[in-house]
Amino acid sequence: MCANKTGSLEDLVIFGVDIGKDTFHLVGFDRADQLGHAQADRAAGVECHIRTTPRCIVGIEACLSAHFVSRTLRGMGFEPRIIPALYVKSFNKGQKNGYNDAVAIAEAALRPNLRTVSEKDQDQLDLQALHQVRARLVSRRTASINQIRAFLIEQGITVRSGLRALKNSFEAILEQRRGEVSPRMRGILIGLYGDWLWLDKRIEDVSGEIEEISRTEENCANVMTIPGIGPMISTAMVTAVGKGEAFDRGRDFVAWVGLVPTQYSTGGRTILGRITKRGGRYLRMLFVQAAKVIMMRQNRWSTFSFGPWLTEAVKRMPRNKAAVALANKLARTAWSALRHGTRFDAPRDMAMETI
């Protein structure tokens, strides 16, 4: 343990904690916003040390284990605040090290209007892990498929685009082109195809577990009444924002997802650009996919309350831009259903293919 500065612990009103793998840095400020305490300690010794400090606000940067540390501190009587790394960076002075990071976290936590990250419980973290595992498996499957296509092209064999087209014709290609493909390359391709099938099974198992959770979770059931939204989006929303208490309105949630235009306004002029793509990248991707699914079923638009709006939107803007606008509307509607525990106005059996 190394102490940089130690003052009166009784006067401290806020702590900044920089979480590390082995070492935690703690910095405390007193009522006069003066540095009152600074210390670095091994992770195992931090809990014993912090038990002797007065119960106060504790700022934590959003990172791995931040939610676990937050729940532990809350159980000890502290008021933890998990702060996005983007906001902490604005308060960082000098070069990057554990002490300066802890000071920046403490100063950020003092700001009264700074938006913090909602603390996740263990069920949310478990569900988040399922989504992360599924996303990794899908990425690996895509890589395997692309590699199979690349190797086939090197042998002068092309297959039309689409996952099903390649899967349905793969064995026939190897059989019909036996003389064109070397035995070694044939073994490589068969091995990649086996990886593909194994990944399909793993994705199916994880997706089934996510769907089972969505059927037993009331909040997910309400969100799934919205057209185009199924188990993946509903569970991802519950994982990311809980019941949406961190946002005052749907527009705030959509801004966090990154589905609002970039703004650069000055001198009374409002200048809007492309969407910001800030915040929840995974959720943004799911909402855009759901919007594109809805836009493929134009004959169903009239059955939903936003059907007339979507019809006019497609007329006045490019199709991809209209899809992003629809994703924005779906996200705001989903937040409202989640936050207020309500269902969408269209019957569920009239909804289309969901994500």
Is 174 found in the same domain as 106? no
* Phi, psi for residue 157 in degrees, rounded to 5: -115, 120
Task: Give the closest residue to 184 by CA, choosing from 143, 151, 145.
Answer: 151
Give the domain CATH number at 66. Answer: 3.30.420.140
Is 247 found in the same domain as 267? yes
In a domain, 340, yes or no: yes
In a domain, 57, yes or no: yes
Q: Are 263 and 272 in contact (CB under 8 A)?
A: yes
Range of the domain at 180: 122-215
* Domain final residue pick, 189, 215, 241: 215
Task: Give the closest residue to 105 by CA, choosing from 182, 167, 116.
Answer: 116
The vertex-223 CA angle with 220 and 227, nearest 5°, equals 135
Domain count of the chain?
3
Tens of pLDDT along the chain (355 residues)? 344 445 555 567 888 889 888 788 888 887 766 676 677 777 666 777 777 778 888 999 998 889 999 998 999 899 999 999 988 988 988 888 888 999 999 999 988 888 888 899 999 999 999 999 999 999 999 999 999 999 999 999 999 888 899 999 999 999 988 888 899 999 999 999 999 999 999 999 999 999 999 999 889 999 999 999 999 999 999 999 999 888 989 999 999 999 999 988 888 888 888 999 888 899 999 999 999 999 998 888 988 889 999 999 999 999 999 999 999 999 999 999 999 988 887 544 444 456 6
Is 232 found in the same domain as 142? no
